Amino acid sequence: MSVFLSCVAGVVVFYLILYYNVFRGGRCTSSAKLTGKTAIVTGSNTGIGKATALDLAKRGARVILACRNQEKAEAAVYDIRRESGSNEVVFMQLDLGSLKSVRSFAETFLKTEPRLDLLINNAGVMGPGRTEDGFGMAFGVNHLGHFLLTNLLLGRLQQCGPSRVVNVAALLHRFGSVDFALLASQKDLVSGGSAWHSVRAYCNSKLCNVLFSRELANRLEGNNVTCFSLHPGVIHTELCRNMSLWQRLLLIPVAKLFFLDPEGGAQTTLHCALQEGIEPLSGRYFFSCALREVGAKGRDDGLARKLWESIASSLETAATSHLNSLWLGWLGSLMIL
């Protein structure tokens, strides 16, 4: 019996050491107050996005919950207002899987909100499917939508500087790659719809997040807008909601034991958004509230520049196609009349 108890005690000690030194992560120590400032947090109706929005609201910021699901977002607004004691928390519709929705959100925001001090690109998905515009789901939501959103709001960020853009990436960016030929031909960075392809697509989209942060920082050098990417840690959130039932059932026990809760997962995001003195590190990558080195591909400035130019070209083509469809529709209505 004593041997059994010793084994149990050893397992518990090993788990605690592993959890507190590997999985738990650092804590944001900034005491910054945000009264009079405005923040956008995408995907903030649940998980680390909601925890991030709550912390910003407690610091006095006006927080815009930019989410696709109105019902869930309005419930999150209620929760955050109640817990923070702030009424400066509002919902604005944003579907990152629709370029039309991203443009509509930006247009509405710029018309109604005079400030933007923090843009936190937090939303992310893992799973198969295509966006409204035909792009792979992970690439379209995790990267393309945020790329367009950031560029549309960049002018307001510059007006209100010093301001920050925070891109929630992942450690899995190290396993990502960018296939420009595939992106041009299939509007995605992977080919196939299996569970493995979904994981690969997620890794690729996170590499894109890291490269985007690097190139944005390069383009804004000497400006009053800084940009950071980060790995939030291994979090038990709704990220895998698009996975099959058996995959989620296998993941739940592991998640309960080892994964961070949303509050813990929000700490590095908050560090990048709030920590004083990290402005010279614009474009860099953080984990556990500390500066970390990214994978070799994530340090490739040539790759970052090429990705930016390729995405800008894709967005220009998509915008032109949209305008052409509107033009043809207008001509058709004239013919009918």
Record the tokens describing residue 296, joined without a space. 């070799």
* Distances in whole angstroms, Cα of residue 35 to Cα of each of 62, 210, 286: 8, 30, 26
Report which of 49, 48, 63, 60 is spatially closest to residue 85, judged by C-alpha positions.
Answer: 60
Q: Are the C-beta atoms of residues 193 and 137 closer than 8 Å to each other?
A: no
Helix (H, G, I), strand (E, B) or coil at 259: coil
**Which of 58-62, 73-77, 120-124, 247-251 has the lowest average pLDDT?**
247-251
Question: Does residue 57 carry a pLDDT above 80?
Answer: yes
Residue 213 · residue 237 · CB < 8 Å = no
Domain total for the chain? 1
Maximum alpha-carbon separation in the chain? 91
End-to-end CA distance of the chain: 90
In a domain, 103, yes or no: yes
Local structure of 138: helix, strand or coil: helix
When comparing pLDDT for 155 and 317, which is higher?
155
- Note the pTM of the prediction, 2 decimals: 0.84
pLDDT tier for residue 141 given thresholds of 50, 70 and 90: very high
Say how far apart CA 65 and CA 235 lie, in whole Å. 20
pLDDT band at 236 (very low <50, low <70, confident <90, very high): low
Q: What is the per-residue pLDDT for 72?
A: 97
Q: Is residue 200 part of a domain?
A: yes
Q: Between these two residues, 251 and 6, which has the higher pLDDT value?
A: 251
pLDDT cut 90: percent of the chain above it: 73
Domain assignment present for residue 335? The answer is no
User: For residue 77, what are the domain limits?
Assistant: 33-328
Q: How many alpha carbons lie under 13 Å from residue 51 in its C-beta half-sphere? A: 18
Confidence of residue 194 (pLDDT cuts 50, 70, 90): confident
Residue at token pair 């009918």: 336
Q: Does 111 score more than 80 pLDDT? A: yes
pLDDT band (50, 70, 90) for residue 332: very low
Structure tokens at 28: 């944001």
Looking at 238-300, list the stretches that DSSP marks H as alpha helix, in order from N- to C-terminal side.
Answer: 245-258, 262-265, 267-274
Judged against a pLDDT cut of 50, whether residue 327 lies above it is answered with no
> Rounded mean pLDDT of the chain?
85
Q: Is 90 exposed, middle or buried (0-12, 13-18, 19+ CB in 10 A)?
A: middle
Edge-to-edge order in the sheet of strand 285-287: 89-93, 62-67, 38-42, 118-121, 163-168, 225-231, 285-287, 290-292
User: How many CB atoms within 10 Å of residue 253?
Assistant: 9
Q: Is residue 218 part of a domain?
A: yes
d(CA 318, CA 102): 13
As a whole number, mean pLDDT of residues 320-334 equals: 40
Is residue 4, in this structure, part of any structural domain at all?
A: no
Cβ-based neighbour number of residue 187 at 10 Å: 18
Specify the pLDDT at position 174: 96
Per-residue CA distances from 190 to 143, 177, 235 (Å): 14, 9, 25
DSSP of 7-51: HHHHHHHHHHHHIIIIIS----------TT-EEEEETTTSHHHHH
Answer whether residue 311 shows pLDDT above 50. Answer: yes
Residue among 329, 317, 247, 231 nearest 22 (CA): 231
Q: Where do we find the tokens 């696709």?
A: 68
**Is a pLDDT exceeding 60 seen at residue 330?**
no
Q: Quick check: is 15 catalytic?
A: no
The angle formed by the CA atoms of residues 170, 175 and 177, to the nearest 5 degrees, is 105
CATH number where 208 lies: 3.40.50.720
- Active-site residue (options: 15, 19, 202, 285): 202
For residue 333, being part of any structural domain is answered with: no
Identify the band that residue 234 occupies on the pLDDT scale cut at 50, 70 and 90: confident
Residue 177: what are its φ and ψ, rounded to 5°?
A: -150, 165
The arithmetic mean of pLDDT across residues 7-27, rounded, is 47
The answer to whether residue 251 is domain-embedded is yes
What is residue 288's predicted lDDT score, i.e. its pLDDT? Answer: 95
Whether residue 128 is preceded by a cis peptide bond, meaning omega within 30 degrees of 0, is: no
Q: Closest by alpha carbon to 27, among 307, 267, 201, 309?
A: 267
Residue 203, both tokens: 């890794």
Tell me the pairing of strands 38-42 and 62-67: parallel
Answer yes or no: is 238 within a domain.
yes
239-291: pLDDT as tens digits: 455 555 555 555 554 444 455 688 899 999 999 999 999 999 999 999 999 99
Task: Give me 135's structure tokens.
Answer: 């792009």
